[in-house]
Amino acid sequence: MTRIDTDILISGGGVAGLTAAAAFGSAGFKVICVDPAPPVTSDKEDGADLRTTAFLHPSIPVLEAAGLWGRLQPHAAPLQIMRIVDAGGPVAEPRIVKDFDAADLSDLPFGWNLPNWLLRREMVARLAELPNVDFRPGTATQSLLTRESEALVTLSEGSRIRARMVIGADGRNSTVRQALNIPVKTIRYGQKALAFAVTHPIPHENVSTEIHRSGGPFTLVPLPDRDGKPCSAVVWMETGANVERLQALSAAEFEAEMNQRSCHILGPLTLASRLTIWPIISQIAERLSGERTALMAEAAHVVPPIGAQGLNMSLADLRCLLDLARAQPDQIGSATMMESYHRARHVEVQARLHGIDLLNRASMIGAQGLRDLRASALNALYSAAPVRKTLMRAGLGLR
């Protein structure tokens, strides 16, 4: 049986795992990255992830250090304004509209939005440029055995990897986390999210818009123009039963309901992609590290898609691991490093998850009186400039 030595074994080739492989590879570490499924790198292929990711500006230095931002920036749509619309009145129409403008904090936009399938395409291309990174799509982590000095990983194709550190970036049902017997706390909301792209006649002007009524937010996130028309990504969160009903509609019927729910903020929306569906949960691991092992991204924490928090929390995980590894490269994967990582991230992740959980529950409210209360709270929070700026800084992860 073949045994290969490496500095880092990354289990998981999603956006977070690929970013980690590029970042540690660019920092000079020897990296092997595995994923059971080859990455889908075109929006036309079956299985394409049609969701989008907004990289908030504190995450950009991580992408730059990984050699990724130069590849991604030409395809990115900047997010200058986060617009919150309350449409929770008796009729589905805007009654409160509040803009959170990045210019109130700095000369940078809040972030930049890109399709997930395109991220995978550019990230895989970057890994091919790094001679010290071995990316193995179609290969799964089969077993993990750790000891004080090393981690031994058996792969599905029979190889055995001896690594100084293993990073579990393998999703909410993480094989690595299960091998470490780390429990998770999961909150289920009875929600699902529809993700798709639309074109519209009114330019989005780099404004990301969350429309709140009931069931969860209807979010329009700027994308580059498609076929000469303004384009946005949509994440429409609803109860599971409503999502099933919407999915069963004809294209014309779906567009009619979609336009009613969007309150015609950008004019008539036209479907520009197929629909994909994602279950909505919150989840956090009891610990973010084990012997010779770190958990990051959805292996460590899952949050509803509100405020562009999910992947940016994952990149904060990566930034912390990178800083620790660079500070003491000879101690990578040590018990001291793993404990430092857990302590640095777990409290912050817990606090952020709790905040997003509260926002999601507020967005689901159906009773009219409670929706009126939600609208009053939004108006009060926005009207106090110090509070508004504090909320914006918190959303970006700034202190």
Task: Write out the DSSP string of 54-122.
Answer: EEEGGGHHHHHHTT-HHHHGGG-EEE-EEEEEE--SSSSS-SEEEEEEGGGT-SS-SEEEEEHHHHHHH
Closest CA to 276 of 119, 117, 75, 140: 117
What pLDDT does 69 receive? 96
Residues 214 and 350 in one domain: no
Residue 32, phi then psi, degrees to nearest 5: -120, 130
Domains: count for the chain: 2
Residues 123 and 243 grouped into a single domain = no
CB 172 within 8 A of CB 299: yes
* pLDDT tens over the chain, length 399 residues: 568 999 999 999 999 999 999 999 999 999 999 999 888 777 777 777 777 888 888 889 999 999 999 999 999 989 898 899 999 889 889 998 888 888 888 888 888 989 888 999 999 999 999 999 999 999 999 999 999 999 999 999 999 999 999 999 999 999 999 999 999 999 999 999 999 999 999 999 989 999 999 999 999 999 888 889 999 999 999 999 999 999 999 999 999 999 999 999 999 999 998 898 989 999 999 999 999 999 999 999 999 988 777 788 999 999 999 999 999 999 999 999 999 999 999 999 999 999 899 888 988 888 888 888 888 877 777 776 676 676 667 666 666
Tokens of 23: 């970042």
Residue 369 counted as domain residue = no
56: left (phi over 0), alpha (psi -120 to 50) or beta: beta
Instruction: Provide the terminal-to-terminal Cα distance of the chain, rounded to the nearest Å.
Output: 50
Of 376, 349, 352, nearest to 362 by C-alpha is: 376
Q: Which DSSP letter does residue 215 get? A: S
Both tokens of 96, joined, read 């409160």
Claim to verify: residue 103 and residue 43 sit in the same structural domain: no
Judge if 105 and 211 occupy the same domain. Answer: yes
Same domain membership, residue 276 and residue 226 = yes
Predicted confidence at residue 379, as pLDDT, reads: 76
**Domain end point (choices 238, 257, 280):** 280
The CATH number for 266's domain is: 3.30.9.10
CA distance 333 to 64: 24
Q: Is 381 a member of any domain? A: no
Distance of CA 379 to the CA centre of its chain: 28
Based on the domain organization, do 126 and 67 belong to the same domain? yes
Quote the percentage of the chain above a pLDDT of 70.
95
Helix (H, G, I), strand (E, B) or coil at 253: helix
Residue 123: give its domain's CATH number: 3.50.50.60
Measured at the CA of 75, the angle between CA 73 and CA 76, to 5 degrees, comes to 65
Contact predicate 294/165, CB 8 Å:
yes
Domain termination residue (choose one: 256, 280, 304): 280
Q: Are residues 343 and 198 in the same domain?
A: no
pLDDT in tens, 349-362: 999 999 899 888 98
- What is the spatial distance between Cα 109 and Cα 12, in angstroms, rounded to a whole number? 30
Q: Which domain holds residue 221?
A: 78-114+189-280
* Strand partners of residue 150: 147
Q: Are 195 and 87 in contact (CB under 8 A)?
A: no
Strand ranges, E, within 248-315: 270-271, 276-285, 289-290, 293-295, 301-302
Residue 170, phi then psi, degrees to nearest 5: -105, 35
273 CA to centre of own chain: 20
Phi, psi for 158 (deg, rounded to 5): 105, -15
Residue with the two structure tokens 């101690």: 331
User: DSSP code of 373?
Assistant: H
Task: Identify how many contiguous H helices and E strands the chain contains and give both numbers.
Answer: 11, 20
Is 265 part of any domain?
A: yes
Residues 6+ apart with CB under 8 A from 164: 6, 7, 8, 150, 151, 292, 332, 333
Can you list the pairs that 321-330 forms with residues at least 24 positions away whose Cβ atoms lie under 8 Å? 321/20, 321/167, 321/294, 321/296, 322/23, 322/24, 322/27, 322/62, 322/65, 325/24, 325/27, 325/29, 325/165, 326/27, 329/29
In a domain, 158, yes or no: yes
- Whether residues 174 and 242 share a domain: the answer is no
Q: Which amino acid is at 129?
A: E
Give the C-alpha separation, 113 to 94, whole Å. Answer: 25
* E strand or H helix that includes residue 260: helix 251-262
